Structure 1
Amino acid sequence: MCGICCCVGFSVEHFRKELREDLLYKLRRRGPDSSKQLLKSGVNYQCLFSGHVLHLRGVLTAQPVEDESGNVFLWNGEVFDGVQLEAEDNDTQVMFSSLSACKNESDILSLFSKVQGPWSFIYYQASSHYLWFGRDFFGRRSLLWHFNHLGNSFCLSSVGAQISGLADQWQEVPASGIFQIDLNSAAVSRHVTLKLYPWKYVSKENVTEECSNALTQTAAELPAFVSVVANEDKLYLSKPIVPLNKMLPQAPLETHCRNSSSVPHTRETLGIFLTDEHTKKVVHQFIDVLSVAIKRRVLCLVREENPASKEDLKTCNKANIAILFSGGVDSMVIAALADRHIPLDEPIDLLNVAFVTKRKPGPSVPKVKRKQQTHHEIPSEESSQGAAVVQGPGDAEAPDRVTGRAGLKELQSVNPSRTWNFVEINVSLEELQKLRRARICHLVQPLDTVLDDSIGCAVWFASRGVGWLVSQDAVRPYQSSAKVILTGIGADEQLAGYSRHRVRFQSLGLEGLNEEIAMELGRISSRNLGRDDRVIGDHGKEARFPFLDENVVSFLNSLPVWEKADLSLPRGLGEKLLLRLAAVELGLTTSALLPKRAMQFGSRIAKLEKTDEKASDKCGRLQILP
């Protein structure tokens, strides 16, 4: 994870040679381990590059990096597959070396087509005065652009620096491909031309249609002096996933328990599906491909040496991996598969957030005899400044807290040898309002709906990881030390987990359900991922999305829709049926039957401040105040 930024000025006398302090502060929070700036000048332009690194793998490599030809590279990503990387390699250096070896545009596109994993990048090609930039196919890493309305500068950045009344100036760079700007040409003409190299299927079907859609969508909100054009050679990046299988059954489906609202909501019902040999095979294929995706995401980071003494394990070993954890089937399956690959002497943090409406009377927090200060008890920056009052355990009984505790017991029974740190994160209305104004609203922007507010705030507090560890005999304050946070986003979109999938199925059948799934996956970059990356990255932590691993998506896309979900079955069974069956096979029988509950309702942040607003309404609480 990194904070990357490039500011380009075409008017030398007005070009600022330093970043605004608030922008620099936000970038440093994303990359606390190294900060560096580099100024490059052409005849007609100047570029200020700023890189801020969160060190996770290989040798710490400060950014921006520059080669002997004057090329400059900023990389915010992870190479999980596709490009050869040894265990000790740093992916920034490997990607830059590969880029420097590229002889033409086709080579550059070929390189980025191969990379499996989340990324955004900025690459300055000195000899041609080209600036390349873009995000991965799913948009798992944030990148924003801001064009000065006088036409004399523009900026690319992982996060924006919003100004009151001007928040709409920053927009997310669409994840529709890679862009190229000829800086010399832009400086002379005072017109920025964004040349797009879009994502395409390797097959030639629908190439023109897809390209025109990408161009139209990208150009919609740009100022008059900025235009988007297709590259004249019709070059493109190869999409990293296979097309969605929209096949429909040729005959009525024959299964054991279909078309009945009276189907018993039990483990036995799911067990009936697993008696079918083909179904069981598909379930195990899914478990295998998801397990590999999670393995890559939990092992690609630098781990400190284990303590010398086994007696010190419990007190000295810290968690490197945390999971956004509700106890629902998505987070439970992630936790169970992560448990397969994370060293057994390493705890796993389960981050469970709840919003407190009113403080409930109850037992006070037991006084815990403070031992020597450890990394577990570092107060948060906010609490150390008096901005946060961490609510005590028992203050919040939100639905996700109840299912989270049940999920903890189930994981403990699956692997009692693992230390599972169930972190109760309770947020008061006062703390929510204070930190939304100070921090979160700037990160959620440019998204601005009530839903963006609810999820953005919930994810920010959860990923901060400041809460309580409650055991049978003690309660203690805790701050998660994990730099990597696994999240289940992508499961609902691909496996028909939302209520709108059921509505579409009821009105238009399997054909309508296929279209809804295709639409959900197509818009996930603009709807969710940039926001979540900015929010989680603000804590100097990296979000990783195993359900959006390229191989996982390709596997799910290859299946006909009825092997993924059966919405003729009731809630808690039919949606995400494939994932529920996988949970049963992993020994997670209780969580396998939990109905889908959105994070904003499970954490009780929805309707906390206003009860009459819709999720799609523009949220006044996100507006930047003077």
Structure 2
Amino acid sequence: MCGICCAVTLSGQHAIRGFFNEDILCRLKRRGPDSSQQLIKTASDLSYECLFSGHVLHLRGLVTPQPLEDANNNVFLWNGEIFNGVHVGNLENDTEVMFHHLTLCSSEADILSLFSLLQGPWSFIYYQASRHSLWFGRDYFGRRSLLWQFSNEVDSAFCLTSVSVYSESGNQWQEVPASGIFKIDLKACTTTKSLSLTLFPWKYSCTEKPVEEIIINVLDEVSKDLPNHIRLVMNESKLCLRAPVVPLNKTISEASGECPGTVSNFIPMVSVETLEGFLAEEHKKNLVCQFIDVLSEAVKRRVLSLFRDENQKTREVPSVSNRKAHVAVLFSGGIDSMVIAALADKHVPLGEPIDLLNVAFMIKERAKQKDTTEEVQLDWLWLQESCQDLDAKTGAHLSYFDVPDRITGRAGLKELEAINPSRTWNFVEINVTPEELNKMRRQCINHLIYPLDTVLDDSIGCAIWFASRGEGFISNQGELKPYKSPAKVVLSGIGADEQLAGYSRHRVCFKKYGLKGLNKELEMELGRISSRNLGRDDRIIGDHGKEARFPFLDEDVVSFLNSLPISEKADLNLPRGIGEKLILRLAAREFGLTASTILPKRAVQFGSRIAKLESSSEKASDTCSRLKLPSVD
């Protein structure tokens, strides 16, 4: 994982270093603490100048400083991981592998074919010297952040960067849309004195839509957020990238019931036994086993594709005193994080601990907690029934940080210990006071969330920042001791709810519009996940010199789930804790999880209780004034 940046001036009148300031450089260095360097390329006859800045977090192969440059003056910046599609040897670095393949490309079609092969998260910047072309973009889901900013002057300057700095004045940053790959012909731009972007959009290989219709839709969507003086055009050959996943199966069987609001007369109990009843069906069990296989392989790629120690060639386990966690999980004890942790356990070397990062924000006195919604009441009932003896067994006392996610997290830890008592599970209790929250939000979190700015972005962004930092306490022989997670890889469960109807809004949609409406909603969820979640989460987690990895968004996992009709993945006629993410709950039960398999969905802002710290009148979609506070030293 890296921090990458490219600043370009198209005329000598604009100082390039004025466009790329020290604050941005500082943010980039935090993302890539293992190597930092810069390179300036000039074309004096064409009067353009490019500054490339690369900052590397070493995870695979030998440390490979960026930017890379070859004998032909091509320059490459890469923030990604190749998990499949292009071969990367155990001791190879994927940045070098990608650059080598790129330099062999002789045409636009070759470059698109290369990127169409990739499986894994990426953003990149590639300067093709011989053609004076600058290529850049993000992967299909937008799992790596890339921002752009254009100067107000028509022919002056622009900048691409992994992370920026919030400012109330001046030109605004925007996320580069994950709509395809972009190319800028720098020679043409300096000649015409205007900036033009050429787009190569994503397209399903089996789509029924004509290319022209796809092009028009994508151009309209991307153009509406660009400054008026920036032109966006389709490539002349109408070339497209091949989408790495299959399109969503929208088939609706008569048996599944299409009428909106249809509710089954039989409502089963929310119990582990109910899940076992589903697994007794041969078809359902076979489907679940296929899902486990593909998801397990996705987790395997993400926990093994990293440099561990000097004995990587021999795979020898280091001595006990040197054992440390290389992999951490954003952990609430909910179904998503439990499944990821349990699958990680199957592939992480047994002598290596796994860190479970559990964040809690200080809550008020319990007597003042007036949770009245049905959803919250159901959650607390589950907690009381499932965890009533937890404190008696551990000797722990109910504190100001015993939020719902802390309680379910401890319960989840016990399940994992039961599955594999030989594993060292570091349950990291990360406690955040209002004072520290406000301080760190002003110092850095507001810059990382930017250019997003809603109340929801603030709540989720702050929770993920503190969780991924990994500073808290772990239990050592019954005593809590300070601990900071050394893991460079942080696994996140994002993508499960979006694909498996996990949010409460999906139930509302199903009641109003039936399965047809639900399919449309789920298709929209994945379509907007790059702009709604992933760029923000990458900037947040990357700020600690750690890399976010998302198993549920593995291309093979998404293709498998997309191939299934909605009735095989979820059944929203069933109650909360069963119907949403049904196939995932069945998978969890199949490989040994128990109480967590029926835990209802609880968003991180509510489970961690950060939402309780602010005004109750705020709506999630409101612009958050707290993110606009000026930065302090």
Q: Are residues 1:486 and 2:487 paired?
A: no
Which residue identity does 1:29 align to in structure 2? R
Q: Are residues 1:348 and 2:349 paired?
A: no
Q: Which residue of 1 aligns with 2:42?
A: 41
Which residue identity does 1:105 align to in structure 2? E
Q: Which residue of 2 aligns with 1:6?
A: 6
* Displacement of 1:155: 0.1
Map 1:218-297 → 2, pairs under 5 A = 218-251=222-255, 259-260=264-265, 262-297=267-302
Alignment CA distance shift 1:91-1:359 (3 Å): farther
Instruction: Structure 1: state its 5+ residue gaps.
Output: 362-391
Alignment size in residue pairs: 591
Map 1:63-462 → 2, pairs under 5 A = 63-151=66-154, 152-166=156-170, 169-203=172-206, 205-206=208-209, 207-251=211-255, 259-260=264-265, 262-305=267-310, 315-358=321-364, 394-462=399-467
Determine the C-alpha separation between the residues in 2 that align with 1:61 and 1:293: 25
Asked whether the equivalents of residues 3 and 28 of structure 1 are also in contact (C-alpha less than 8 Å), the reply is: yes
* Displacement of 1:407: 0.1
Could you tell which deviates more after superposition, 244-253 or 175-184? 244-253
SS at match of 1:127: helix
* Displacement of 1:186: 1.4
* Displacement of 1:98: 0.1
Could you tell which deviates more after superposition, 144-153 or 404-413? 144-153
SS at match of 1:547: helix
* Displacement of 1:251: 3.7
Asked whether the equivalents of residues 61 and 92 of structure 1 are also in contact (C-alpha less than 8 Å), the reply is: yes
Determine the C-alpha separation between the residues in 2 that align with 1:139 and 1:269: 37
* Displacement of 1:161: 2.4
Asked whether the equivalents of residues 260 and 569 of structure 1 are also in contact (C-alpha less than 8 Å), the reply is: no
Which residue identity does 2:328 align to in structure 1? A
Asked whether the equivalents of residues 470 and 485 of structure 2 are also in contact (C-alpha less than 8 Å), the reply is: yes
Q: Which residue of 2 aligns with 1:380?
A: none
C-alpha offsets along residues 161-208 of structure 1, whole Å, 9 cap, x if unaligned? 232334x61000000000000112212323211100000012352232
Q: Are residues 1:21 and 2:27 paired?
A: no
Asked whether the equivalents of residues 448 and 539 of structure 2 are also in contact (C-alpha less than 8 Å), the reply is: yes
Alignment CA distance shift 1:425-1:306 (3 Å): farther
Determine the C-alpha separation between the residues in 2 that align with 1:505 and 1:311: 50
C-alpha offsets along residues 408-455 of structure 1, whole Å, 9 cap, x if unaligned? 000000000000000000000000001001000000010011000000
Determine the C-alpha separation between the residues in 1 that align with 2:463 and 2:564: 33
* Displacement of 1:81: 0.2
* Displacement of 1:14: 2.5
Which residue identity does 1:23 align to in structure 2? I
Identity %: 63
- Alpha-carbon RMSD across the aligned residues, in angstroms, is 2.1
* Displacement of 1:260: 4.5
Asked whether the equivalents of residues 363 and 400 of structure 2 are also in contact (C-alpha less than 8 Å), the reply is: no
C-alpha offsets along residues 341-395 of structure 1, whole Å, 9 cap, x if unaligned? 000000000000010035899xxxxxxxxxxxxxxxxxxxxxxxxxxxxxx9944
Alignment CA distance shift 1:441-1:252 (3 Å): closer
Q: Which residue of 1 aligns with 2:553?
A: 548
Which residue identity does 1:246 align to in structure 2? K
Q: Are residues 1:507 and 2:508 paired?
A: no
Instruction: Structure 2: state its 5+ residue gaps.
Output: 368-396
Which residue identity does 2:460 align to in structure 1? I
C-alpha offsets along residues 69-110 of structure 1, whole Å, 9 cap, x if unaligned? 110000000000000111111000000000000010000000
Determine the C-alpha separation between the residues in 1 that align with 2:492 and 2:604: 12
Asked whether the equivalents of residues 430 and 472 of structure 2 are also in contact (C-alpha less than 8 Å), the reply is: yes
Q: Which residue of 2 aligns with 1:366?
A: none
Map 1:455-470 → 2, pairs under 5 A = 455-470=460-475
* Displacement of 1:319: 0.2
Asked whether the equivalents of residues 304 and 348 of structure 2 are also in contact (C-alpha less than 8 Å), the reply is: yes
Determine the C-alpha separation between the residues in 1 that align with 2:236 and 2:254: 43
Determine the C-alpha separation between the residues in 1 that align with 2:299 and 2:453: 31
Q: Are residues 1:608 and 2:609 paired?
A: no
Determine the C-alpha separation between the residues in 1 that align with 2:614 and 2:501: 30
Asked whether the equivalents of residues 393 and 470 of structure 1 are also in contact (C-alpha less than 8 Å), the reply is: no
Determine the C-alpha separation between the residues in 1 that align with 2:346 and 2:248: 30
C-alpha offsets along residues 250-292 of structure 1, whole Å, 9 cap, x if unaligned? 34579xxx82474211111111110110100000000000000
Which residue identity does 1:132 align to in structure 2? W
